A = this chain, B = another copy of it.
């Protein structure tokens, strides 16, 4: 408990961090990631912009936190990216499955994926997740035309999520992680580095 008397929100309060996240979520959804400044988020939350930076090192970090993902995909995918494009599909699917096959994480990720059909979720996922997470992965992998190839990867990953975890269609729902990787890696690898029309 703090004894400092202050006007407005206090740096030490968990409410402050939450207020910033609420403001960020609203503005990212309404205006998109690109058109939302840290200054605008601070104003909306009723705090000083410096306080936003106290909690979140960058607008990207704030965005990832606003998505309420149980994991930071950028951290998880760092080793995938570090080894370059050869075999990246297999490594990427391995990380993907280790996260999604965990029931507790899955529940929280599904809450995010479910938003694809809501207008706000669409803005968050399309203009944010792709720009902050997927785009940089493609760039860091050093593949050609990442802005064209990564959406193809996303299309197969989303379909796999829906069939394996949402609709639970057999045999995909019960396949071992190794079999899922072996089944889908050729598709993902072609989208990453293969010949496209």
Whether the Cβ atoms of B160 and A155 lie closer than 8 Å is: yes
Chain A residues numbered 143-187 whose CB sits less than 8 Å from any CB in chain B: 147-148, 151-152, 154-160, 162-164, 166-172, 179, 182-183, 186-187
Residue A103 lies at the interface, judged by CB distance under 8 Å to chain B: no
Copies per assembly: 2
Question: Does A126 sit at the interface, judged by CB under 8 A?
Answer: yes
Is the pair B163, A158 in contact by a Cβ cutoff of 8 Å?
Answer: yes
Complex-state Cα separation, A182 to B194, whole angstroms: 13
A188 CB to nearest chain B CB (Å): 10
Verify B130–A166 contact, CB threshold 8 A: no
Q: Could you write out 28 A-B pairs with CB less than 8 Å apart?
A: A116-B167, A117-B117, A117-B166, A122-B167, A122-B168, A125-B167, A126-B167, A126-B168, A126-B169, A147-B171, A151-B169, A151-B170, A152-B172, A154-B159, A155-B159, A155-B162, A155-B163, A155-B172, A156-B156, A156-B159, A156-B187, A157-B159, A159-B162, A179-B197, A182-B197, A183-B196, A183-B197, A187-B190
Known: A117-B117, A162-B162, A179-B197. 20 other contacts (CB 8 A): A116-B162, A117-B166, A122-B167, A122-B168, A125-B167, A126-B168, A147-B171, A151-B163, A151-B169, A151-B170, A151-B172, A152-B183, A154-B169, A155-B164, A156-B187, A158-B158, A158-B162, A182-B197, A187-B187, A187-B190
